[in-house]
């Protein structure tokens, strides 16, 4: 990204044009992408007018490169005029002509839509809901578990899952108290209208205070769980996120991240964070090996918590509708950050009103799709969402 600006600064005179191969993510990512989309050299230098972008992501011209390839054409000293011509190239040298414009502000991620997709743009806007990342229970090899026996004299026999993480963690079979163990949901466990947990996770975080339960409390209430964690003290203390957020305040070494009171909302609509399309489902308690327990969304998921099943199903219908899915794909790149909380903040969703017949109908159709995902209500859901 920086090299593009350096090249424009050094090699272009005013009015000069540059074509540059670059990663496509600069046009739709947050963070560093926002700085790139200033399209100005320094704080007060020449502006760079973007004349066109060619998106080669589906062509993959550099087979061994992980980056998403694009090419940008820009002119020094001219303002960018929106919509910018945005050409998506597909196998067979097919080309789709779209227009790109920033979403949510002058430096926001670019939304790319065809001339016949203005109905999608009308769904962009704000809403009263707060989406959040799921609980960060890292390292997986310590906090992710398989329940081997749920009834061992008031304890649960578990096996940790070091094979699911990147860090070398020794395998352990232990017996711990069940209170801090939850059925856990990864992004891979979510399909549209359905979510099925396949692992359990140990959650030892105080949601109100934002760090781990005090050791004295753990020792009093859950001594076997604390004993298990003691076996991984060094691995837990060496975590980069622990050093960043908890070490200076000498918080418990097993403190976790992204856990708040919303994590314990009785109902949640959840979707995959790392994806290429939205696939949402409603979850609440899960009747698994430990009995009915709250289903814990993990950090590869995003969720919105609600106090009622009706509201959760309403939101799920909206998120799974074809128009909203197209809206999100228009400004969020496929991959690790596709379904982050940010994307939900850009969708115009009216607050749920139980007295509103349209809202109630959306909620009912979501329930029906959860009971039978072949129920066939998708088209009616799409029409209802477009009626907002």
| 295-329: pLDDT as tens digits | 999 999 999 999 999 999 999 999 999 999 999 99
The answer to whether position 48 is within a domain reads yes
Is it true that the peptide bond before 83 is cis, omega within 30 degrees of 0? yes
pLDDT at 152 exceeding the cut of 70: yes
Range of the domain at 6: 2-115
C-alpha 18: how far from chain center: 35
pLDDT recorded at residue 301: 99
Cα 76 to Cα 270: distance, rounded to the nearest angstrom: 44
Instruction: Tell me the CA end-to-end span of the chain in Å, nearest whole number.
Output: 39
- Whole-number pLDDT of residue 30: 81
Residue 255 falls within a domain, yes or no? no
Would you place residue 67 in the very low, low, confident or very high pLDDT band (cuts 50, 70, 90)?
confident
> What is the tens place of the pLDDT at every residue in 75-110?
999 999 999 999 999 999 999 999 999 998 999 999
Mean pLDDT across the chain: 96
| Closest residue by Cα to residue 316 from 388, 261, 378, 387 | 378
Which three-class secondary structure state does DSSP give residue 142? helix
The pair phi, psi for residue 229, each rounded to 5°, is -65, -35
Residue 165 lies in a domain: no
Answer yes or no: is 77 within a domain: yes
- Per-residue confidence (pLDDT) for residue 144, from 0 to 100: 98
Structure pTM? 0.92
Whether 20 has a pLDDT exceeding 90, the answer reads yes
Residue 268, domain member (yes or no): no
1 pLDDT band, cuts 50/70/90, is: low
User: 159 lies in a domain?
Assistant: no
pLDDT in tens, 187-212: 999 999 999 999 999 999 999 999 99
Calpha distance 116→123 (Å, rounded): 14
Per the structure, the count of domains in the chain is: 1
Q: What average pLDDT does range 357-383 have in this prediction?
A: 97
Give the model confidence (pLDDT) of 233-277 as tens digits.
999 999 999 999 999 999 999 999 999 999 999 999 999 999 999
With a cut of 80, say whether residue 32 has pLDDT above it.
no
Is 285 inside a domain boundary?
no
In a domain? residue 57 = yes
């Amino acid at each position: 990204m920086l090299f593009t600006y350096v090249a424009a600064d050094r090699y272009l005179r005013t009015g000069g044009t540059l074509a540059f191969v670059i990663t496509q993510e600069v046009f739709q990512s947050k963070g560093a992408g926002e700085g790139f989309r200033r399209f100005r050299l320094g704080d007060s230098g020449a502006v760079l007018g973007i004349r066109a972008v060619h998106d080669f992501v589906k062509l993959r011209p550099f087979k061994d490169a992980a980056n998403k390839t694009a090419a940008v054409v820009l002119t020094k000293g001219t303002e960018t005029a929106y919509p910018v011509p945005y050409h998506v190239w597909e196998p067979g040298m097919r080309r789709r002509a779209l227009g790109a414009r920033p979403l949510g502000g002058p430096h926001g991620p670019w939304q790319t839509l065809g001339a016949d997709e203005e109905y999608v743009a009308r769904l962009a806007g704000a809403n009263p809901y707060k989406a959040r990342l799921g609980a960060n229970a890292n390292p997986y090899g310590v906090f992710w578990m398989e329940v081997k026996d749920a009834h061992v004299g008031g304890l649960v026999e578990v096996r940790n899952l070091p094979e699911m993480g990147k860090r070398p963690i020794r395998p352990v079979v232990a017996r711990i108290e069940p209170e801090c163990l939850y059925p856990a949901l990864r992004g891979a466990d979510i399909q549209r209208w359905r979510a099925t947990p396949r692992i359990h996770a140990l959650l030892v975080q105080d949601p109100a205070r934002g760090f781990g339960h005090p050791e004295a409390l753990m020792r009093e209430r859950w001594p076997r769980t604390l004993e298990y964690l003691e076996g991984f003290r060094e691995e837990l203390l060496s975590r980069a996120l622990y050093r960043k957020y908890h070490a200076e305040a000498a918080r418990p070494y097993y403190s976790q991240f992204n856990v708040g009171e919303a994590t314990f909302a009785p109902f949640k609509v959840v979707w995959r964070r790392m994806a290429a399309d939205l696939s949402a489902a409603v979850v609440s308690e899960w009747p698994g090996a430990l009995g009915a327990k709250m289903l814990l969304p993990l950090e590869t998921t995003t969720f919105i918590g609600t106090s009622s099943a009706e509201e959760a199903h309403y939101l799920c219908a909206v998120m799974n509708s074809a128009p909203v899915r197209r809206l999100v794909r228009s400004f969020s790149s496929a991959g690790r950050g596709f379904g982050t909380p940010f994307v939900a903040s850009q969708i115009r969703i009216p607050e749920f009103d139980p007295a509103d017949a349209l809202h109630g109908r959306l909620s009912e159709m979501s329930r029906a799709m959860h009971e039978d995902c072949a129920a066939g209500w998708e088209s009616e859901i799409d029409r209802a969402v477009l009626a907002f």
